[in-house]
């Protein structure tokens, strides 16, 4: 009929992606990081003060905005990612979500994420078998990632905290 869908404009974005790090510990076949990482100056972390400034603006303008302190790197490589998530939650951000490859989702990291109020975690496994995982992720950590993910779910429930986990 020739009618185009035009999404409604909002005064503030419904989602804010914050690239907290470009570092990654994998070299997945589908990810540009494995190619771009050879560029001088590609690897690095976002300055904490800039992150806090972004969160302050989102909290003041539209705390219902979904905040994702992740874009292209592995956010759990940052030692302060749980603190950054906690800052967003204390500022009143309704939903904070990350995507992780799950390789460093150890007990200390899981506890910190739960304690700091992470609302949603996507774990990129991309396979139902270790063989397919190896081809896509170029890593033999399939079993570890599955166990880390299941442990996060168990530990969230044990703290009587319901966190959404997507795989």
Q: How many helices (H) does the chain have, and how many strands (E)?
A: 6, 5
As a dihedral over the C-alpha atoms of residue 23, residue 67, residue 143, residue 125, rounded to 10 degrees, the angle is -90
Name the band, by pLDDT with cuts 50, 70 and 90, for residue 35.
low
pLDDT of 23 higher than 70:
yes
pLDDT attached to residue 40: 60
Query: What are 70-124's pLDDT values in tens digits?
Result: 877 899 999 999 999 999 999 999 999 999 999 999 999 999 999 999 999 999 9
Query: What are 138-161's pLDDT values in tens digits?
Result: 999 999 999 999 999 999 999 887
Please name which of 9, 7, 120, 124 lies closest in space to residue 66, comparing C-alpha atoms: 120
* H or E segment and range at residue 99: strand 95-100
Helix locations, 12-78, DSSP H: 33-36, 48-61
pTM for the model stands at: 0.89
pLDDT of 41 higher than 70:
no
Please name which of 80, 75, 83 lies closest in space to residue 100, comparing C-alpha atoms: 75
Sheet holding 120-123, edge to edge: 15-17, 66-68, 95-100, 120-123, 164-166
Distance of alpha carbon 96 from alpha carbon 19, whole angstroms: 14
> What integer is the mean pLDDT of 130-134?
94
Q: Is 142 helix (H, G, I), strand (E, B) or coil?
A: helix
Name the band, by pLDDT with cuts 50, 70 and 90, for residue 32.
confident
Question: Are the CB atoms for 114 and 155 separated by under 8 Å?
Answer: yes
């Amino acid at each position: 009929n020739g009618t185009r869908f035009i999404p409604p404009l909002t005064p503030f974005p419904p989602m804010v992606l914050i690239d907290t790090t470009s570092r990654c510990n994998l070299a997945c076949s589908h990810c540009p990081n494995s190619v771009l990482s050879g560029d001088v100056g590609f690897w690095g972390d976002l300055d904490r003060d800039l992150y806090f400034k972004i969160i302050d603006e989102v909290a003041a303008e539209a705390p219902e905005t979904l905040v994702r302190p992740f874009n292209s790197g592995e956010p759990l490589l940052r030692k302060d990612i749980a603190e950054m998530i906690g800052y967003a939650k204390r500022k009143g951000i309704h939903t904070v979500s990350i995507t992780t490859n799950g390789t460093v989702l150890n007990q200390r990291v899981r506890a910190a994420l739960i304690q700091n109020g992470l609302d949603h975690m996507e774990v990129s496994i991309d396979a139902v078998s270790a063989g397919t995982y190896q081809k896509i992720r170029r890593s033999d950590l399939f079993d570890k990632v599955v166990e880390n993910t299941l442990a996060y779910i168990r530990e969230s429930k044990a703290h009587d905290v319901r966190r959404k986990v997507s795989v």
